[in-house]
Amino acid sequence: MPSEAEIRKIVFGFSDFKVKPKRLYLRTRRAGRSSPAPPACLDQSSLRVTSGSISTSIMASHIVGYPRMGPKRELKFALESFWDGKSSAEDLKKVAADLRLSIWKQMADAGIKYIPGNTFSYYDQVLDTTAMVGAVPPRYGWNGGEIGFDVYFSMARGNASVPAMEMTKWFDTNYHYIVPELGPDVKFSYASHKAVEEYKEAKAHGVDTVPVLIGPVSYLLLSKPAKGVEKSFPLLSLLGKILPIYKEVVTELKAAGASWIQFDEPMLVMDLDSHQLQAFTEAYSTLESTFSGVKVLVETYFADVLPEAYKTLISLKGVSGYGFDLVRGTKTLDLVKGEFPSGKYLFAGVVDGRNIWANDLAASVTILKALEGIAGKEKLVVSTSCSLLHTAVDLANETKLDSEIKSWLAFAAQKVVEVNALAEALSGQKDEGFFSANSAAQASRKSSTRVTNEAVQKAAAGLKDSEHRRATNVSARLDAQQKKLNLPVLPTTTIGSFPQTIELRKVRREYKANKISDDEYVKAIKQEINKVVKLQEDLDIDVLVHGEPERNDMVEYFGEQLSGFAFTVNGWVQSYGSRCVKPPIIYGDVSRPKPMTVFWSSIAQSMTARPMKGMLTGPVTILNWSFVRNDQPRYVTCYQIALAIKKEVEDLEKAGINIIQIDEAALREGLPLRKSEHSFYLKWAVHSFRITNCGVQETTQIHTHMCYSHFNDIIHSIIDMDADVITIENSRSDEKLLSVFREGVKYGAGIGPGVYDIHSPRIPSTEEIADRIKKMLAVLETNILWVNPDCGLKTRKYPEVKPALKNMVAAAKQLRQELASAK
């Protein structure tokens, strides 16, 4: 065995602890470089002891959760290879294990004391909880025992015989979770030991993690009544049935050696009634006896905890600590200052887990020092505002990013370092060099001339003086448009994108790398568009799309052509399952230097006599699916984007495009969690959409698209958007959307509730689609109904898309015949 000095020399290049190993990690990570890993031949236990002795005097630090896809999307590719039958379950598990270990080691090396465990997932953490409590819907044929990949992925994605469970947005993020389906007959059972297994796995590698569980009350409130169960079924009535499973899990975790367990209860930031708040009290009172011998953290995030919820939270039995989002929940700070229970731990989420801007360390230290006087140095823990799942993984992988802009940023790996740096500073071990660099970066961003465009600021400021509505009402417009377009009853269309093949992605990749010429690229994309147009004509679809072969992502594509945006190479963020997005970074004022889509839309329209939709992403979606600047109100940035899209809409119209779709898939997603804030958000969000198309002629048909959120509570705002046609997700959510029309809401514009779920490989039959259309016709007028899938087809494969669209068109034709015969 080498001596400690020899180990230090081999691993870190020095033997004198005046420079600490952890500091070397921090410096390289802060600088955006990878830190040196210890040689595999070394005795890791010796290294761990040495590392542990370094950080004993540092204030405690904590990370709520961490991205699971990997810095280069390793999990995504492993999942898709497994789903395609190209690799085994063991291959997938090996990739997952390697990712988990690298994440745990990264946080341990950075000096984080409370490292989250069980935040890794093969698909979704809520689905993991469904598996843990054995709440598998009967249609998946599960007969008990430990839930394996077959049942797990069938719930997530569906299979040849049964559809997937509903997927919807996780609070106000772009992450999607799988919605549990519960009813009075559900029989909970401990069916997935993942939390315990991953704790033991980390421990075997010398890392003591804090297992993270979705709390029982939040889990029930995030669920929905199963099909066939009354919509009024009280989900919280199942609390007594589910708590015994949580007791089993806690008992096993304690037996495995866990000293802390984190219960995520994000529903505590919502508007809750007294009955719902009482459920938290009952749940933790029931679990209290099980908590003996382990400390429990109840974590909240995404917004303020309201006063009544705060009182409930700090009164929960058996709870040792409370975690708060102090970035989006600034009012919670006042509650903490007003009252905080003695002897409890305060996990202060001062590092933003939802955005990529570097923390203002000086400002955070001020907040933390104030909290230190309330909770005490020993009980204050520096933390992230929420899981880092919602940010990109590692700035070190961004070698092409502008150096000035890069100095303003911090991805997940850098946020881990920021948390630890703050903990060090509070412990009297402030890294003056790091804080100085941070201060300089903050100043640089505030003074940079590339951030502000006075003309754009002035134009956006002037938008408040008008409602920006079209000259005629929607009824008159639809009449004028039908005379021009001459569409059949129940017109068919798709949402925009078509499958992006390996060959197509290769063309874009080679063009970006300058391996093919402009002419070669244009020729290849034209060929792809022609293929998609011909396919749609062969299928007899009425309103066509060009398939978007030139686009990498519906937001990134536009951001790349707008000023004020920056882009990453590996800044991927999980949206759902294996689906990742690479959000643009809005760092400055936004404008459109030149047309963005007119060239390709014009080419596509020239290939067919049928109407071709011009495809745009709306301003609210671009905003909500980007990392947005935090130095001005979000609505100001949104108005700037709206003006840029307005120019594009008008140029498309001039080019002869008669139908223009402006997608607002993320409008509902941005709705604040506080009901009191809904009205203001919806006012500027809807206004932004109207700005984009207020200047077109009444014969130009404006479409929009929305997906994967609950829309019934904002239906009047959707109507106020004043689009001519809206296509909207419907099939995967058990047609909840239709209920709003059954309840008497009158909708006069065109509407296309999705007739099949595109996020599943399952191919719906003609009869199934026809049945869905009939349900729609029972609550919607025939002359306004459109027939279309739930969403774009980018993530599907042609062997799935062709038969599904064929069946969709056949169903529409069948219903047309039936309607004609009934006259």
Instruction: Give pLDDT tens digits for 339-350.
Output: 999 999 999 999
Alpha-carbon 28 to chain mean position: 29
- Please give the average per-residue pLDDT across 364-370, as a whole number: 97
Element (H, E) at 155: helix 149-157
Q: What is the pLDDT of residue 43?
A: 30
- Please give the average per-residue pLDDT across 775-783, as a whole number: 91
Q: With CA atoms as reference, report the closest residue to 616 among 591, 646, 593.
A: 646
- Residue 408 amino acid letter: W
Q: What is the mean pLDDT of the chain?
A: 91
Element (H, E) at 246: helix 239-256
Q: How far apart are the first and last CA of the chain?
A: 91
- Please give the average per-residue pLDDT across 511-536, as a whole number: 96
Q: What is the pLDDT of residue 709?
A: 62
pLDDT grade, residue 779 (50/70/90)? confident
Cα–Cα distance list, 656 to 74, 507, 604 (Å): 44, 28, 11
Q: What is the pLDDT of residue 618?
A: 98
Residues 751, 788: contact at Cβ < 8 Å? no
Q: What is the pLDDT of residue 792?
A: 92
- Please give the average per-residue pLDDT across 1-9, as a whole number: 37
pLDDT at residue 40 above 60? no
Q: What is the pLDDT of residue 732?
A: 64
pLDDT grade, residue 660 (50/70/90)? very high
281: helix, strand or coil: helix
Least confident stretch, 19-28, 125-134, 207-216, 364-373: 19-28
pLDDT at residue 44 above 70? no
pLDDT at residue 322 above 60? yes
pLDDT grade, residue 1 (50/70/90)? very low
Annotation says 176 is catalytic: no
Residue 345 tokens, joined: 């731990």
pLDDT at residue 335 above 90? yes
Alpha-carbon distance of 633 to 619, in angstroms, equals 15
Cα–Cα distance list, 294 to 215, 235, 576, 769 (Å): 16, 29, 33, 52
Q: What is the pLDDT of residue 132?
A: 98
Least confident stretch, 253-267, 279-293, 403-417, 667-681: 667-681
Least confident stretch, 39-48, 481-490, 491-500, 703-712: 39-48
- Please give the average per-residue pLDDT across 191-207, as a whole number: 98
- Please give the average per-residue pLDDT across 179-196, as a whole number: 98
pLDDT at residue 56 above 60? no
pLDDT at residue 10 above 50? no
Q: With CA atoms as reference, report the closest residue to 71 among 40, 90, 98, 93.
A: 98
pLDDT grade, residue 729 (50/70/90)? confident
pLDDT at residue 786 above 70? yes
Please name the residue that has the structure tokens 């505002």.
Answer: 385
Supply the pTM of this predicted model: 0.88
The dihedral formed by the CA atoms of 739, 743, 682 and 782, expressed in degrees to the nearest 10: 70
Least confident stretch, 8-22, 46-60, 736-750: 8-22
CB atoms under 10 Å from CB of 337, counted, come to 12
Q: What is the pLDDT of residue 746?
A: 82
- Please give the average per-residue pLDDT across 408-436, as a whole number: 97
Alpha-carbon distance of 255 to 293, in angstroms, equals 10
Total residues found in the chain within this entry: 823
Residues 554, 662: contact at Cβ < 8 Å? no
Vertex 494: Cα angle to 651 and 698 (nearest 5) = 40
Q: What percent of the chain has pLDDT over 90?
A: 85
CA dihedral (638, 641, 647, 649) positive or negative: negative
441 vs 47, residue with greater confidence? 441
Residue 749 tokens, joined: 């514009």
Question: CB within 8 A of 542, min separation 6: which ones?
Answer: 487, 488, 491, 492, 493, 610, 611
420: helix, strand or coil: helix
Beta bridge partners of 458: none
pLDDT at residue 221 above 50? yes
Q: What is the pLDDT of residue 237?
A: 98
Q: pLDDT (tens digit, 9 = 90+) per residue, 619-650? A: 999 999 999 999 999 999 999 999 999 999 99
Alpha-carbon distance of 805 to 811, in angstroms, equals 10
- Please give the average per-residue pLDDT across 374-378, as a whole number: 95
Least confident stretch, 156-160, 557-561, 646-650, 730-734: 730-734
Q: What is the pLDDT of residue 739?
A: 75
- Please give the average per-residue pLDDT across 254-283, as a whole number: 98
Residues 563, 588: contact at Cβ < 8 Å? yes
Q: What is the pLDDT of residue 55?
A: 41
Angle, helices 44-54 vs 21-30, to 10°: value is: 80
Q: With CA atoms as reference, report the closest residue to 137 among 123, 160, 158, 120.
A: 158
pLDDT at residue 229 above 50? yes
